[in-house]
A and B are shown apart, each in its own frame.
Chain A
Amino acid sequence: QKEVEQDPGPLSVPEGAIVSLNCTYSNSAFQYFMWYRQYSRKGPELLMYTYSSGNKEDGRFTAQVDKSSKYISLFIRDSQPSDSATYLCASPGGSYIPTFGRGTSLIVHP
């Protein structure tokens, strides 16, 4: 079992929808979580990170961590076609090296 799991999708939604992207993790040592966005044929770019349980908001994006259930979510409000990308969650788990999920592909159609 991978330490960070994501449904690969694709998740297809209409423009303007609220999107929920999810990860589960198995390692209780994970304290710090990151979301990356990767457009096709480009490198991943850091979208958000959070140290703790609860919510962190940045514009249309909200990251949520539930440590009791080992569940990480990224919500996108008012989704746009430009949000179409693969979203990767990750956690360093106390080492130099993050553990990445395999990513969820999101398609926002006009």
Chain B
Amino acid sequence: DVKVTQSSRYLVKRTGEKVFLECVQDMDHENMFWYRQDPGLGLRLIYFSYDVKMKEKGDIPEGYSVSREKKERFSLILESASTNQTSMYLCASSTGQQETQYFGPGTRLLVL
């Protein structure tokens, strides 16, 4: 079975802090994704990566950056956390095009 893990299930941070969210997949997938999910807004794509060291902006990249130094690991960075970044963050991975995405358990981030 595909396994996607995320470093934390719950995080509480202060406004202005730098926040790192890590995601690891164990299926040698080329593609990795970061989404945020908010009530009534559904899944919104922040960034994705289709190869090591490659990254592409999604629909809402402002205030975020990413890093992919190894194929299995994709990190999301909030450079200076703000209260409007309080959300559920979901990592996903897939292989090729038109392939299903497999999601991690999510990280619930609260920024105070």
- Listed in ascending order, the chain A residues whose CB lies under 8 Å from chain B are 8, 31-32, 34, 36, 41-46, 49, 88, 90, 92, 94-98, 100-103
Contacts and interface: CB of A to CB of B under 8 A. Distances in A.
Interface residues of B, number: 25
A96 B103 contact: no
A87 to B, nearest CB: 12
Contacts of B58: 97
B64 to A, nearest CB: 16
Interface string B86-111: 00101000100111111111101000
B72 to A, nearest CB: 17
A43 B101 CA distance: 11
A34 to B, nearest CB: 6
A43 B93 CA distance: 12
A45 B50 CA distance: 21
A36 B100 CA distance: 10
Contacts of B50: 96
Contacts of B98: 31-32, 92, 94
Given A102-B40, A102-B41, A41 B97 contact: no
A101 B43 CA distance: 8
